């Protein structure tokens, strides 16, 4: 009797903890694979611990726990908790397609490394096709060309942090500015995805690009932003250090000029490189994805001209937004 | 250029309002974007202009009532909170 009470009490606790941390254990709709090997072990330890104090404090508190009303209340509470969790899961699945999101986060280190290499240097990559497995695209872990959401998310967050760093080196930092940067970057991202969706709708191309795919593609450019800003910040801070020494060695003018030129030059060069790289990357990715949406070989010619249209409209639009943003960033950050 | 999420909402409301106030007889037919001038055949190549006209027509039909609600809410909120 005490042990079942302990079990149901523990399960209720466990349920509350699970619901709070939004991590499913035994329902089948897992948000991510539970690779912690200590899971069952911890449960066993908990159970023992729960049963232990119960047995020890069972005698004075026996009236509390063997009371059928409190048993009933605990059982009811645990069923209510599991019902609530089911409702949350169902509604969450309706608004955010959780199972589809899981596909985009199934990455590993090798994939991330290769993808970052392709993003920075897309010129040597020959085969851009996404391999399919029974009509669904293969998970990013197995195919370098598949889109993922891990790199864009991480790139976005790193971009905000590096922007904070850039502001800090210019003594213009305050914690609210991080939030401002984050929301404005998010708004630009949403507007770019909406612009791409609108242009895809207008050109009536049958493609299997989902909104999340477009989000992933639009998020890949944050990697370039991060590289540009890191390069300019590291170089500018290194150069300012060198400037100090040069001032001490009374080659002041040359040192300062070299520092300024080098800083700005590094910024422009890396900006140009990353713009070209992401342009080529987007071009080839979109070409492939639009073409791969059709399996009908008769209409391939018409598809070719339509994809040219799409390419022009879509890529120009995305490039326009990216260039606008680069200009804005230039005015905002570059006061070397 | 601090865009917040609030400006995004404002932009969306303004753009939808702008599309909704395009008058059918006085304006759209005059510039050849009327309802009867867009929908050609039922071929599988509607063209960009037909898509735009479809979009405008569907936005005007679908968003009329929600826009009334959202605009009233905006007016009340702006009156109350400035």
Element (H, E) at A262: helix A252-292
Residues from A contacting B (CB-CB < 8 Å) are 180, 183-184, 186-188, 190-191, 201-204, 302, 328, 332
Structure tokens at B7: 């400006």
CB atoms within 10 A of CB B46: 17
Can you tell me which residue has the tokens 């955010």? Answer: A96
Q: B22: closest CA among B44, B52, B66, B47? A: B52
In this predicted structure, the answer to whether residue A183 has a pLDDT above a threshold of 80 is yes
Of B2, B8, B52, the CB nearest to A180: B2
The CA-based angle A152-A154-A158, given to 5 degrees, is 115
pLDDT averaged over every residue in chain A: 68
A301 pLDDT above the threshold of 80: no
**Residue ranges of domains in chain A:** 100-239
- Judging contacts by C-beta atoms under 8 Å, the chain A residues touching residue B7 are 187
Q: Are B1 and A203 an interchain contact pair (Cβ–Cβ within 8 Å)?
A: no
pLDDT bracket for residue B79 (50, 70, 90): very high
Which of A19-28, A227-236, B2-11 shows the lowest mean pLDDT across its residues?
A19-28
The ipTM (two decimal places) reads 0.82
Alpha helix locations (H) across B1-82? 5-20, 47-62, 64-81
**Cα distances (angstroms) measured from residue A69 to each of A5, A206, A294, A313:** 12, 62, 64, 69
CA distance A50 to A1: 14
What does the mean pLDDT of chain B come to?
82
B4·A187 Cβ contact <8 A: yes
User: Considering CB atoms only, which of A188, A202, A332 is closest to B51?
Assistant: A202
Domain parsing of chain B, residue ranges: 5-33+47-81
Q: Is the pLDDT of residue A326 over 80?
A: no
Residue of A nearest to B45 (CA): A204
Res A169: pLDDT: 74
User: Taking 70 as the threshold, does the pLDDT of residue A190 lie above it?
Assistant: yes
- 8 A C-beta contact, residue B55 and residue B8: no
| pLDDT one-digit tens code per residue, A1-12 | 444 444 444 444
- Quick one: pLDDT at residue A292? 53
pLDDT of residue B71: 94
Q: What is the CA radius of gyration of chain B?
A: 16
Q: Which pLDDT score, from 0 to 100, does residue A6 have?
A: 46
Q: What average pLDDT score do residues B57-81 get?
A: 91
pLDDT at B80: 94
Contact A104, A150 (CB under 8 A): yes
Tokens matching residue A165:
């760093």
What is the C-alpha separation between B73 and B31, in angstroms, rounded?
33
Query: Per mean pLDDT, which range of A54-58, A89-93, A201-205, A232-236 is the poorest?
Result: A54-58
Q: Count, in order, helices (H) and strands (E) of chain A.
A: 13, 2
Mean local confidence (pLDDT), A110-116: 87
Q: What is the pLDDT of residue A335?
A: 39
Task: Find the residue in A nearest to B10 (Cα).
Answer: A187
Predicted confidence at residue A128, as pLDDT, reads 72
């Amino acid at each position: 009797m005490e042990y079942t009470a302990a079990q149901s009490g523990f399960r209720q606790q466990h349920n509350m903890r699970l619901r709070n941390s939004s991590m499913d254990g035994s329902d089948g709709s897992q948000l991510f694979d539970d690779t912690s090997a200590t899971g069952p072990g911890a449960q066993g330890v908990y159970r023992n611990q729960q049963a232990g104090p119960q047995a020890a404090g069972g005698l004075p508190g026996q009236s509390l726990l063997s009371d059928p009303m409190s048993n009933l209340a605990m059982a009811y509470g645990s069923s209510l908790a599991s019902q609530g969790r089911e409702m949350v899961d169902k509604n969450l699945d309706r608004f955010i397609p959780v199972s589809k999101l899981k596909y985009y986060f199934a990455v590993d280190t090798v994939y991330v490394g290769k993808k970052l290499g392709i993003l920075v240097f897309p010129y040597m990559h020959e085969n851009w096709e996404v391999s399919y497995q029974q009509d669904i695209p293969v998970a990013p872990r197995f195919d370098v060309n598949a889109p993922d959401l891990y790199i864009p998310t991480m790139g976005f967050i790193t971009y905000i942090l590096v922007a904070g760093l850039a502001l800090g080196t210019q003594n213009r930092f305050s914690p609210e500015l991080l939030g401002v940067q984050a929301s404005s970057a998010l708004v630009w991202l949403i507007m770019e995805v909406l612009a791409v969706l609108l242009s895809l709708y207008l050109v009536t191309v049958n493609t299997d690009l989902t909104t999340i795919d477009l989000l992933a593609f639009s998020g890949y450019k944050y990697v370039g932003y991060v590289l540009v800003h890191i390069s300019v910040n590291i170089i500018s801070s290194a150069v300012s250090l060198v400037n100090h020494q040069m001032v001490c060695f009374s080659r002041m003018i040359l040192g300062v000029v070299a520092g300024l030129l080098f800083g700005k030059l590094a910024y422009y060069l890396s900006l140009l490189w990353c713009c070209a790289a992401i342009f080529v990357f987007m071009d080839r990715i979109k070409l492939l994805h639009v073409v791969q949406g059709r399996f009908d070989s008769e209409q391939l010619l018409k598809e070719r001209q339509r994809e040219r249209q799409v390419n022009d409209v879509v890529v120009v639009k995305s490039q326009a937004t990216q260039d606008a943003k680069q200009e804005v960033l230039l005015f905002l950050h570059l006061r070397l | 250029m601090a865009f917040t999420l609030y400006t995004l909402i404002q932009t969306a409301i303004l753009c939808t309002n702008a599309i909704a106030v395009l008058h059918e007889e006085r304006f759209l037919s005059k510039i050849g974007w009327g309802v009867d001038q867009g929908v050609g055949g039922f071929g599988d190549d509607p063209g960009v202009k037909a898509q735009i006209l479809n979009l405008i027509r569907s936005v005007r039909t679908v968003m009329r009532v929600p826009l009334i609600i959202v605009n009233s809410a905006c007016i009340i909120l702006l009156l109350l909170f400035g």
